[in-house]
Structure 1
Amino acid sequence: MASDSPPPTAEEIAYHDCLKKQGVAIVYTDYGAPRVDKSKPWNEEAHKACEPLLPPPAKPQPADPAQVTAAQKESACLRAEGVSWYPDPDPVTAQIDERRGTPEQWTALKRDHIDALKKCRPER
């Protein structure tokens, strides 16, 4: 399957190899990039141990104003629907920082707030 995603970097591979040695379940994308298996419990000790190997984040790409506005409306809508912890998007990139919120909160969002997600993300 073709992908526009670049192949994994040596840093990504080293970081995920470290996590794997620490007992973290790793899955691979269609284009071979290693990722943490989010269906498994979070292992804070492993992530802290491997943090020095974590590659620097990619430089964020600015979103157009319509995307920023849509992301802001989505965040406000989800909070109004009872997801009080849901963060505001980045005002430049429109991205949600998933470090704001625990892995348990993100899992619960997808499990317990399906109706809110459908209401607040009608185009998805």
Structure 2
Amino acid sequence: MFLELKNTAVGYKTPLIRGIETDLALGEICLLIGNNGVGKTTLIKSILNQISLISGDILLDGKNIKTLSNKEIAERVAVVFSKSQIPANYTLTDLVSLGKYIHYPYYFELNAQDQNEV
């Protein structure tokens, strides 16, 4: 599995969501829906290791996120929050392509395989 959540509780001082048991294979799509304040963004930030877990484990490629650097997480996961400021005149292709540039120095262009994947 690419992403695994094992008996995970997310929140701040008290859990917003607890007992999360799920996984996603690479290429699967997951839709998070819910009212304001139920923990959707908190869950995503916990997966990115930006917020500490209350309990449980989150694994990316079988590795606990607590052991991964921010760069290692960014190489595996890309997120665009709904309130993100996207530069004017960017196409969807441009935006998705940004997730590929983490693997290259700033002056490289995407190769044919990268462009196909985007």
Interval of TM-score (by shorter of Structure 1 and Structure 2): under 0.3
TM-score, normalising length: structure 1: 0.26
Report the structure number with the largest CA radius of gyration: 1
TM-score, normalising length: structure 2: 0.27
- The higher-RCO structure (CA 8 Å, 6+ apart) is 2
Higher normalized strand content (fraction of residues)? 2
